[in-house]
Structure 1
Amino acid sequence: MSTRNGGAAVVETLAAHGVDTVFGIPGTHNLELYRHLVACGIRAVTPRHEQGAGYAAEGYARVGGRPGVVLTTSGPGLTNAMTAAATAYAESQPMLVLSPGVPTGTEGADLGLLHETKDASGAMDRLVRWSRRVESPEEAADAVTEAFATFRGTRPRPVHVEVPLDVLERAWGGSPWVGAVTAAPEPDAADVRRAATLLARARRPLVIAGGGAVDAAAEVRALAEALGAPVATTVNGKGVLDESHPLAVGAAVRLRALQKATADSDALIVVGSELGDADLWEGRIAAPAVIRCDIDPGQLHKNCPADVALLGDAATTLQALLAALPANPTSDAFVGTYPTNAPFVGTDGRAARAGELREACRAEARGGAGAYEEINAAVRAALPADGVLAGDSSQVTYLGSVHFFDVLAPRRFCYTPGYATLGYGLPAAIGASLARPQAPVAVLLGDGAFMFSVQELATAVDLRLPLPIVVVDNGGYREIRDQQETRGIPPVGVDLPVPDLASLARAFGALGVRATDPGAVTALVADALSADRPTLIHLKTRTE
């Protein structure tokens, strides 16, 4: 067997694209991928479950802005990672999943081979942007290069490459190559002028920034300040405008106060969001004049038809829009543009309007938050400004962190509102820690979500991550219990015994402490950030 083989074709091409970290579990059938990692300078991180590998890769991509790469073995290794791949698709995160497959010529033969799967690539193709089964080492290298091309210039979404076992082992004498960067579409100049006219005439402009705007933070701020427009975000857009900025409303799109404000505005611009039900919670976004900006043409009229549709990359499109605005969009609007380090200065009451809207949204969110606001404030007080928070499909996240944990920049908040998976928070935090090793990371989630991926404590211990993991004890599945009560259903399958999580953490080699007062969490998190290993903080308190 040549050591420069199909496995080398894949791994060398990963390295050529700047990959230095992969997440996965070695198995019988993917060893020819693992053979080449060290020589190519790629670090292999081994979670304790392939789903955890996928969530870690998603967190890595979300925080680092670089594609997450997952290596699985065939059969169950791949199927274990499918939920994470589907999560990345729903949340528009770049992920490359690589797996071995049955040997060439045995597809669908039902021979009883180890890990044999009826149609692994076909199954993945139903979940991701595309899935491809290759037929040669050369084609394997090309598929990896094409995968990275799909992450640039288009809406980022996961892809899968299946490499048959015989192809992994076949000799390869080629060289890795990097394809040309895919050019993002540019908006039509006439449409930009139409949008600029609408915004310049607006007396009550409003901006909604979604996940597609995370790399256009400077442009969103410049536009908001030029117009004096409040900025609300979706969950995936959280932090696109520093949430301490006077024009920031926060991640409030699902709140009725914000939805009413959009209906009352005279010009609404939506940047990089599909405005789906996962964002709106059965609400609706509508305005007399709607401008949509998106890199995906299929999103420009989805859920809220656009009066002006701007197809293009968010940063480039907003730059064009800013250039088309008059120096003074309205007689009493904000004058000029401001560098990102300049203080915010206004000439009318629009900042007050933004502040009033923010307070109305917070008051609405506070009605369902209970103690979750206090818990989030305690963690926020301990985490430095540049810190990253990872949450989960837990009440403390979507009722608490979304609204009450302010972040000062994009790519600082890990949560999956669309696919709403459980078990995401801890492995995503591991991926985030590796993507931004200089930034402190914390986890805040419920006990139900934590138990989905408790095994990844071992991964965090292996990596010696100073990771605070705050687990709010709700005694099982509190959200589903609440829904059962609302429907008049007696609680079934939701009240669960919770282990002694502090002792469990210590058994994994982590630190473990207990708390009953949210006020004690700040000091515990601060201590955990300077520890030489992860710290689990088991918080047992009333959360209703």
Structure 2
Amino acid sequence: MTGGQAVVRALVAHGVDTVFGIPGTHNLEIYRHLAEAGVRHVSARHEQGAAYAADGYARVSGQPGVCVVTSGPATLNAAAAVGQAYSDSVPVLLISPGLPLRHPGRGNGFLHEMKDQSAAMGAIAAYSVRVTSVAEIPAVVAEAFAFFRAGRPRPVHLEVPVDVLAEVGEAEVGVPVVVPRVRAEPAALARLVEVLGVARRPGVLVGGGAKGAAGLVRELAERVGAPVVSTANGKGVLGEGHPLSLGAGVHLPGVAEFVRDCDVLLVLGSELAPSDFWVEPLAQPGCLVRVDVDPGQLRVNATPEVEVVGDVGAVLVELLPRLADRPGDGVARAAWWRGRLRAQGRAEGARWLWLLEVLGEFLGDGVLGADSAMACYYGALTNLPIQRPGGFLYPTGFGTLGYGLPAAIGAAVASPGVRTAALLGDGGVMFTVAELATAAQLGLALPVLVVDNAGYGEIKAEMVARADPVHAVDLPSPDFAALGRALGCHGVRVTGAAELRVELARAFEADRPTVLHLPEEPLPEEPKSAQG
């Protein structure tokens, strides 16, 4: 088989049926074999959008997202999305061609030539591999999928030289390697059972590492009566309608108070990052317990009294049978803290509550692709209820702009029939606005809410706070509704909650995406004329 055929067959062997990308001169040998292998290809309009879509697909499906681009500038275009996937521990496999094996080391002006593409991506992804033969390809793909499942999943880059893609050689495409989940050491598990057994005011903090164990997290919380608070990536692990859920937003002052009130705080799959807590680090509970599949993470940002290395799901499977039911006053305690946190979240997100309350009515058990926008991190993070793990797609840590729209596309591809929407700012949407054409081509019933504050509102506020000259942040907004229509979508301008309710009802049933151009705050309604 050719190298391109080996790539496709190896992907299929690992259950891949969908890839995102853009064809180019150097990767056509891969594209040649996708259709015959039954692999669906989703054509993005920019490689960054393709890789963000693969990220959103992975977060919602629980399976690695695959992105195929061409060499040089295309690979670099995808780099920001790879960096975001690394920050959020998302399994994305980026595949791109590379310079020929016998390319002169000092360069000769070859098309898309880079000095060292694999080294560049290796500095961003978990690792990058440049193969040198057709025979290596299936093994390297198998290694990537084993890596995704063996521990903390992070993106991987595979580079196949253009001459190897076209070369014919022998390759053994075997069955996927079965990788067991990392289990806790018996002594650590026994200590965890002991600590939880005597807890009187337990609490749980969940991060993205708990997304695959949502049912087990719920069972644990109910068994010991522990209120559950989540980071942005853990939002929805315990559905936010559950009586033990405190919602998301660990930066709120009330969360620090809650943590200090806990005699035991169990942290499941979170790096406790400064980008989650914003300013202050995690407050000190009576006893801090951390469970994480990454042993190197257990003492970063906070040092626990009890540390358990293991996959959150595997640890909870072993833990739960050893715990007695002691729900106590957990529901009443959670209700008190939830009221306190809800008041703080609503105060912080007051400017956007009018649209979030309407969106929440329609989204239900759906998925939101959120951007690094004020309406998302001040608004939706704490004020939009999410009921499913992976239901809030948000670019934490790396904090890229332009993530929300393509991530929502990937999510919609991964879960047809599940309501999906995108929430963006007028600044961030321009980074990947071309992906509206991708969503239109797919015929997705995807509401795309663009909240317009006429520029980079957060940066403007920071300039004002610093008493700096305010410049380079005020941007004239295009007519986003018209722009959406030009790219094949429906597009409407919405000025208030009543209009939004009508338009969202239409958008979720439409034959294509709908761009909803919104002000940050609703415009006053015109008085109705007198009847008589």
Smaller-chain TM-score range? over 0.9
CA distance in 1, matches of 2:316, 2:253: 27
CA distance in 2, matches of 1:486, 1:425: 27
Amino acid at match of 2:349: A
SS at match of 2:26: coil
Paired residues of 1:50 and 1:77 also in contact (CA < 8 A): yes
What is the deviation of 1:305? Answer: 0.8
Hey, what does 1:352 align to over in structure 2? 332
Q: 2:341 aligns with which of 361, 366, 370?
A: 361
Hey, what does 1:90 align to over in structure 2? 87
Hey, what does 2:301 align to over in structure 1? 303
Which residues in structure 2 correspond to 1:280-429 (within 5 Å)? 280-285=277-282, 286-325=284-323, 327-328=324-325, 333-334=326-327, 348-383=328-363, 385-429=364-408
Paired residues of 2:142 and 2:177 also in contact (CA < 8 A): no
1:72 aligns with 2:55: no
CA distance in 1, matches of 2:497, 2:107: 56
SS at match of 1:269: strand
Hey, what does 1:343 align to over in structure 2? none
Hey, what does 1:18 align to over in structure 2? 15
Paired residues of 1:256 and 1:283 also in contact (CA < 8 A): no
Hey, what does 2:528 align to over in structure 1? none
Q: 1:160 aligns with which of 154, 157, 162?
A: 157
CA distance in 1, matches of 2:478, 2:467: 29
Q: Deviations over 1:171-228 (max 9, x none)?
A: 0333422342222321111221211111121111110011000011111111111111
Q: Deviations over 1:124-149 (max 9, x none)?
A: 00111110100001112211111111
- Report the CA distance shift for 1:302/1:519 in structure 2 as closer, same or farther (over 3 A): farther
Hey, what does 2:110 align to over in structure 1? 113
CA distance in 2, matches of 1:111, 1:370: 58
Q: 1:481 aligns with which of 460, 470, 490?
A: 460
SS at match of 1:377: helix
Paired residues of 1:192 and 1:324 also in contact (CA < 8 A): no
Q: 1:194 aligns with which of 191, 195, 216?
A: 191
Which residues in structure 2 correspond to 1:224-263 (within 5 Å)? 224-263=221-260
1:532 aligns with 2:532: no
* Structure 2 residues without counterparts, runs of 5 or longer: 524-532
Paired residues of 2:205 and 2:266 also in contact (CA < 8 A): yes
Paired residues of 2:496 and 2:522 also in contact (CA < 8 A): no
CA distance in 2, matches of 1:205, 1:29: 56
CA distance in 1, matches of 2:329, 2:233: 29
* Structure 1 residues without counterparts, runs of 5 or longer: 335-347
SS at match of 2:203: strand
What is the deviation of 1:401? Answer: 0.9
SS at match of 2:398: coil
SS at match of 1:29: helix
Amino acid at match of 1:409: R
What is the deviation of 1:504? Answer: 1.2
What is the deviation of 1:541? Answer: 4.2
Paired residues of 1:516 and 1:541 also in contact (CA < 8 A): no
Hey, what does 2:423 align to over in structure 1? 444
Paired residues of 1:153 and 1:181 also in contact (CA < 8 A): no
Give the share of equivalent positions with the same residue, in percent: 48
Q: Deviations over 1:68-125 (max 9, x none)?
A: 1111111101000000001100000000000101110226321111100000000100
Higher mean C-alpha deviation, range 54-63 or range 169-178: 169-178
CA distance in 2, matches of 1:165, 1:451: 33
Q: 1:62 aligns with which of 56, 59, 62?
A: 59
Give the CA RMSD over aligned residues.
1.4
Amino acid at match of 1:497: P
Paired residues of 1:108 and 1:119 also in contact (CA < 8 A): no
Amino acid at match of 2:346: R
SS at match of 1:163: strand
Paired residues of 2:52 and 2:406 also in contact (CA < 8 A): yes
CA distance in 2, matches of 1:59, 1:257: 30
Paired residues of 2:14 and 2:176 also in contact (CA < 8 A): no
CA distance in 2, matches of 1:321, 1:145: 31
Amino acid at match of 2:428: A
SS at match of 2:25: coil
Paired residues of 1:259 and 1:284 also in contact (CA < 8 A): no
What is the deviation of 1:506? Answer: 1.1
CA distance in 1, matches of 2:152, 2:228: 22
What is the number of equivalent residue pairs in this alignment?
A: 522
Hey, what does 1:434 align to over in structure 2? 413
- Report the CA distance shift for 1:489/1:102 in structure 2 as closer, same or farther (over 3 A): same
Amino acid at match of 1:354: A
Hey, what does 1:337 align to over in structure 2? none
Q: Deviations over 1:416-470 (max 9, x none)?
A: 1211110011111110010001211111111111111111111011111111111
